[in-house]
């Protein structure tokens, strides 16, 4: 049974995850891809390296909740829940898309459309959490996660006008009932600024600079060690959790220490993370109690590499007002280009 967060439950931090291309390597670019995913056994589904380990670290924090809002169809619930359990992941809420109901109601556009599905779903979930709870969100670059999550954050903070909000929803192809839900939540939810960070996994290898238009809250990542480093900088997870996550990537996914160091260098050079976080994880690597899964000489190599990354820390990304209509148009063009590129590569 899915656990549901209720208003008033004492939760300090909510972590919201997408699944496809954020947690799982999936491909929905064609009807055949959808069918293949539907019949794939849980043990055959591939987890994005480091995603499960980071989710397990998050689960170890006090007073947190993990919610999953996915565009995968409801019919995959049993298979997806089995996969999460295989990965040792525990979650509190799993929302999947009611695609069969959409088809029966002749709402064919809703099968692929994401903004009109995810935004009201996120706002509904927020209505079941007390206003003081902070949030961290995880998505990917395959479709509209950076845009939807940023819209969600700005609706909660009262930073977006109703005219702009409605224009984006209409351009995205949202149905009238979804638009009405968004308007209702925007009018009734308490004004807060809870979204601390939005991580976008670059599954389609998008240019990280594309996401600067969304401001410092959005962090494009190529692997989850980069997310762990930023979460340490945000004081969301402790340095010891960042070190354990690094060890899991080396042991479970064959990352080399230079891979981790280069990942750290890349994310801090774009203005995310901090000198303090680099130094804290380096210190944790040197002072962790034995036994530890990562041997001492590899931990020392990681510590030295992270300390060297201090010289690469770039200027922080400046805050800005997001032009959502322009961002939506640019996102749509990027999605279509990525899909065309994937199809060309599949034909080779």
CATH number where 158 lies: 3.40.50.1000
- What pLDDT was estimated at residue 181? 96
Structural domains of the chain, count:
2
173 and 239 together in one domain: no
Residues 254 and 294 in one domain: yes
Phi, psi of 301 (to 5 degrees): -65, -40
Mean pLDDT by 10 residues, the chain (348 residues): 45 96 78 55 88 97 95 89 96 88 68 87 94 97 93 96 95 93 96 97 94 96 98 98 98 97 98 97 97 96 98 92 94 81 73
Q: Would you say residue 3 lies in a domain?
A: no
The predicted structure's pLDDT at residue 41: 76
Predicted pLDDT of residue 208 = 96
Q: How many CA atoms lie within 13 A of 232 on its CB side?
A: 30
CA 277, chain centre distance (Å): 20
How much is the pTM?
Answer: 0.92
Considering the domain architecture, whether residues 308 and 235 belong to the same structural domain is answered as yes
87 belongs to a structural domain? yes
Last residue of a domain, one of 174, 200, 222: 222
Residue at 348 is within a domain: no
Report pLDDT for 259. Answer: 96
Q: Are 164 and 243 found together in one domain?
A: no
Rounded distance between C-alpha atoms, residue 223 and residue 200, angstroms: 10
Q: What is the pLDDT of residue 112?
A: 72
In sign, the C-alpha dihedral spanning 86, 89, 93, 97 is: negative
Comparing CA positions, the residue from 236, 281, 200 lying closest to residue 58 is 236
Spatial distance between the Cα atoms of 226 and 242, rounded to a whole number of angstroms: 10
Question: In terms of domains, do 18 and 163 share one?
Answer: yes
Does residue 121 fall inside a structural domain?
Answer: yes
Q: Determine the structural domain holding residue 297 and report its residue range.
A: 225-317
Which phi and psi (to 5°) does residue 213 adopt? Answer: -65, -15
Task: Please answer whether residues 67 and 43 qualify as being in contact, where contact means their C-beta atoms are separated by less than 8 angstroms.
Answer: no
Based on the domain organization, do 191 and 106 belong to the same domain?
Answer: yes
Which of 176, 197, 222 delimits the end of a domain? 222
172 & 303 share domain: no
Residues 134 and 250 in one domain: no
Q: Give the closest residue to 325 by CA, choosing from 112, 169, 197, 181.
A: 169
pLDDT at 7: 45
pLDDT of residue 106: 61
Can you give the pLDDT at residue 28? Answer: 55
Cis omega before residue 38 (within 30°)? no
Residue 336 placed within a domain: no
């Amino acid at each position: 049974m899915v656990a549901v967060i209720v208003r008033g439950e004492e939760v300090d931090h909510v972590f919201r995850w997408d699944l496809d291309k954020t947690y799982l390597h999936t491909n929905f670019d064609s009807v055949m891809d959808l069918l293949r995913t539907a019949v794939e056994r849980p043990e055959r589904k591939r987890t994005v390296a480091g995603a499960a380990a980071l989710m397990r670290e998050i689960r170890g924090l006090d007073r947190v909740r993990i919610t999953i809002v996915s565009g995968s169809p409801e019919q995959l619930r049993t298979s997806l829940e089995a996969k999460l359990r295989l990965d040792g992941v525990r979650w509190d809420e799993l929302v999947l898309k009611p695609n069969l109901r959409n088809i029966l109601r002749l709402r064919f556009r809703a099968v692929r459309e994401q903004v009109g599905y995810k935004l009201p779903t996120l706002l509904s979930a927020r209505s079941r959490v007390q206003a003081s709870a902070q949030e961290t969100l995880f998505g990917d670059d395959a479709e509209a996660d950076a845009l939807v999550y940023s819209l969600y954050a700005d609706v909660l903070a009262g930073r977006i006008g109703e005219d702009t909000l409605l224009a984006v929803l209409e351009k995205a192809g949202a149905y009238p009932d979804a638009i009405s839900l968004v308007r209702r939540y925007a009018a009734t939810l308490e004004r807060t600024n809870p979204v601390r960070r939005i991580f976008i996994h670059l599954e389609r290898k998008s240019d990280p600079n594309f996401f600067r238009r969304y401001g410092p809250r959005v962090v494009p990542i190529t692997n989850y060690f980069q997310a762990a480093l930023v979460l340490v900088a945000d004081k969301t997870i402790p340095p010891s959790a960042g070190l354990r996550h690094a060890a899991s990537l080396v042991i479970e996914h064959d990352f080399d220490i230079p891979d981790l160091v280069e990942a750290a260098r890349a994310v801090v050079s774009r203005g995310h993370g901090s000198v303090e976080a680099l130094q804290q994880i380096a210190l944790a690597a040197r002072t962790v109690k034995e036994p530890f899964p990562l041997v001492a000489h590899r931990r020392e190599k990681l510590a030295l590499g992270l300390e060297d990354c201090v010289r690469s820390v770039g200027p922080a990304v400046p805050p800005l007002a997001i032009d959502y209509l322009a961002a939506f148009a640019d996102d749509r063009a990027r999605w279509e280009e990525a899909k065309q590129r994937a199809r060309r590569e599949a034909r080779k």
